[in-house]
Amino acid sequence: MSFAGKIAIVTGAGRGIGKAIALDLAAAGCDIVFTNRTKALADQTQAAIEALGRKCLAVQAEASDPAAADGLVKAALERFERIDILVNNAGITKDTLLLRMTPEDWRSVMAVNLDGMFYMTRAVIRTMVRQRSGKIVNLSSVVGFTGNPGQVNYASSKAAIVGFSKSVARELGSRNITCNIVAPGFIATDMTGKLDEAQQKAILDQVPLGRMGTPEDVARAVRFLASEDAAYITGTVLHVNGGMY
Contact residues for 125 (Cβ-Cβ < 8 A; gap 6+): 134, 136, 168, 172, 177
- Rg, the chain, Cα only: 17
Largest Cα–Cα distance in the chain? 52
At 66 the three-state DSSP class reads helix
- Chain-centre distance for alpha carbon 80: 21
Classify the C-alpha dihedral 115-93-35-164 as positive or negative. Answer: negative
Catalytic residue among 119, 154, 232, 245: 154
Strands 31-35 and 7-10, sheet pairing: parallel
154 tagged catalytic: yes
Q: With beta carbons less than 8 A apart as the criterion, state whether 8 and 31 touch.
A: yes
At 220 the three-state DSSP class reads helix
φ, ψ for residue 9, nearest 5 deg: -105, 130
Instruction: Report the distance separating Cα 23 and Cα 83, nearest Å.
Output: 17
Which residues have a catalytic role annotated? 154
